[in-house]
Structure 1
Amino acid sequence: MKHPQSTGQTGPLQVDVKQLKDHPGAQEILSRDVPAPVGFSTVLVGIPEGSNLAVDLRIESVHEGVLMTGTASAEVVGECGRCLDPISYPLTVDVMQLFSWADKAQGTDTGEDEENRAVGEDLMVDVEPVLRDLMVSALPFQPVCRDDCPGLCSECGFRMEEDPEHEHEQVDPRWAALQGLKNQLNDGDDEA
């Protein structure tokens, strides 16, 4: 199993859990407003890097490791997937993650993933990957400014909201040659 290594630096989303080691039932409260890290986004929406990310977590020592529960909140901004208008709304996710003590996690061979994270050998927990997984997965795949947004015309980009009756005459390509012949015959009738 991989264990996070200490880089000698602690970030705003890294938590020192040394005081919780070997004290099951002990707990700490982590309540911080931190700048959102890079990568909390999808193609059309996300949490802008550096914007406010509010983290309210209870960190509790349990026999297996450290149990982290609470919420994380931020403002999502982006574009509507239909009309490209700007959108913005608050997002709050529930956090519940167990970080196993390094000595307890060594007996497992499942590797480190979303369900099986480990406390670093330096007794630090990096909360950023957990929050990224939770918040990015809560973002909509196709964000819309409102459920009934008509979007843009696929032919010319016209805002369908401005004229719901907007349409283009579509000629079946199999009949296009006959349309040209019809136009020639009509032009011939006008000359006669």
Structure 2
Amino acid sequence: MSTQRTSARPDENPWIFSTRELGRRPGAQRTVARTVPAPEGDEVIGLSGVIAVPGGSDIDLDLSLESVTEGVYVSGTAAARLEGECSRCLDPITDDIEIRVGELFAYPDSVTEETTDADEIPRLVDERFDLTQTVRDAVVTDLPMAPLCTPDCPGLCSGCGERWADLPSDHGHETLDPRWAALKERLPSTD
């Protein structure tokens, strides 16, 4: 079994794959390697504003398509570059991610299609499937909810908003209880 390096036709969505070569013969299998552009705009893959695969950037797919009784089982990996910001200090961060994907795309008129809701399992349409949602779901579930630039990032000073990493070790802010503020104005300064 050899890996095919494929690309979509210029007028075709690169996230859509054909299963025509597999037929409906259980056990028929082929591998596909393809680089596709990440969706842009509302279709972004990730947690918008926190960390995501930048729209238009490359996502490398290495997939195995296997014909099974109820459809085509797609498994493999998707590798991409993430960009976002640290949830503590707000510095920009980048990272590489490689996630595993695995999804059954049901044949039309199969028992699986008849016994599941339309949004419960994806379907093959005209012997083709769209992998966009499968990859999006796999990436989003693998992303950190609060990405950090380093595991021990100290964050920002709540008093001045500066990065703790850039401040001297004795940095601090005098806090005065607002109930005593009026007295401070009346007492002479000890400076």
TM-score interval (norm. to shorter): 0.7 to 0.9
2:17 alignment partner, one of 15, 18, 30: 15
Per the normalisation by structure 2, the TM-score is 0.84
2:148 alignment partner, one of 129, 139, 144: 144
Q: Which amino acid in the other structure matches residue 173 of structure 2?
A: H
2:172 alignment partner, one of 151, 167, 176: 167
Q: Does 1:49 align with 2:49?
A: no
Q: Does 1:63 align with 2:69?
A: yes
Q: How does 1:86-125 map to 2 (within 5 A)?
A: 86-104=92-110, 105-113=112-120, 116-120=121-125, 122-125=126-129
Q: How does 1:75-94 map to 2 (within 5 A)?
A: 75-94=81-100
Q: C-alpha displacement at 1:109, in angstroms?
A: 4.0
1:26 alignment partner, one of 21, 25, 28: 28
- Preserved contact between residue 79 and residue 96 of structure 2 (Cα < 8 Å): yes
Q: Tell me, which stretches of 5 or more residues in structure 2 are unaligned?
A: 1-10
Distance 2:24 2:79 in 1: 31
Q: C-alpha displacement at 1:155, in angstroms?
A: 2.5
Higher RCO by CA contacts (8 Å cutoff, separation 6 or greater): 1
Distance 1:106 1:128 in 2: 20
Q: C-alpha displacement at 1:41, in angstroms?
A: 2.3
- Preserved contact between residue 15 and residue 126 of structure 1 (Cα < 8 Å): yes
Q: Percent identity?
A: 39
Distance 1:146 1:132 in 2: 25
Distance 1:62 1:148 in 2: 47
Distance 2:109 2:12 in 1: 22
Q: C-alpha displacement at 1:166, in angstroms?
A: 2.1
Q: Deviations over 1:142-192 (max 9, x none)?
A: 11100111111123211111224322222233x2xx3322431326x9xxx
- Preserved contact between residue 112 and residue 118 of structure 1 (Cα < 8 Å): no
Q: C-alpha displacement at 1:48, in angstroms?
A: 0.7
Distance 1:185 1:128 in 2: 68
